Homo-oligomer: A and B are copies of this chain.
Amino acid sequence: MIQNADYEAMVRESFARQKFMATLGAQLVHVAPGEVDIALEHRDDLTQQHGFVHAGVLGSILDSACGYAAYTLMPADGDVLSIEYKLNLLAPARGTRFVARGRVIRAGRTVTTCRAEAFADDGTAPIAILLASMMTLHDRSGIRG
């Protein structure tokens, strides 16, 4: 299923270049074929008006988790771009630590569909769910097709 034996190194290197992930304190905690998890600690400077982590923070790590899950299955000369995502917010982001679990549903030549779920602490019920379309750029010559 993987087309690039170095997928993990490529994901880690690209993630390290996403400075916004460092700004959020987000960390890559799981990388496997079609699967990427990103974790984050609660911080006051990430909150919305009620003191919970902002939906946009969850959206950011869920989008990155999906994009990198798709990237694990791409060819070595490919690059990944988010076409779109949809985020449903299920419960307030209460808790001290959050994990976004991105999984590939179907990998196509051009479009890869992924879902991701966010969990708080050791919760078993997701607090947010995302459904996304990712595009493979085959020659890395541009960043938008």
Residues of A within 8 A of B (CB): 14-15, 17-20, 22-23, 44-50, 52-57, 59-61, 63-64, 81-92, 105-106, 108-111, 113, 115, 125-126, 129, 131, 133, 135, 143-145
Measured CA separation A115–B84 after assembly (Å): 14
Determine whether the beta carbon of B54 is less than 8 Å from that of A20: yes
Contact flag A60-B63 (CB < 8 Å), given A20-B45, A111-B135? no
This protein's copies in its complex: 4
CB within 8 A of A126: which of B63, B89, B105? Answer: B105
Residues of chain B lying within 8 A (CB to CB) of residue A63: 55-56, 59
Determine whether the beta carbon of A54 is less than 8 Å from that of B105: no
Contact flag A135-B110 (CB < 8 Å), given A84-B87, A88-B84, A105-B90? yes
CB within 8 A of A85: which of B17, B46, B86, B126? Answer: B86
Determine whether the beta carbon of A57 is less than 8 Å from that of B55: no
Q: For A52, A54, A125, which residue has the most chain B Cβ atoms within 10 angstroms?
A: A54
Determine whether the beta carbon of B111 is less than 8 Å from that of A145: yes
Identify 11 new A-B residue pairs, CB closer than 8 A, beyond the known A20-B53, A20-B57, A115-B129: A18-B48, A19-B45, A23-B46, A50-B143, A54-B60, A60-B60, A84-B86, A84-B88, A90-B106, A91-B144, A109-B145
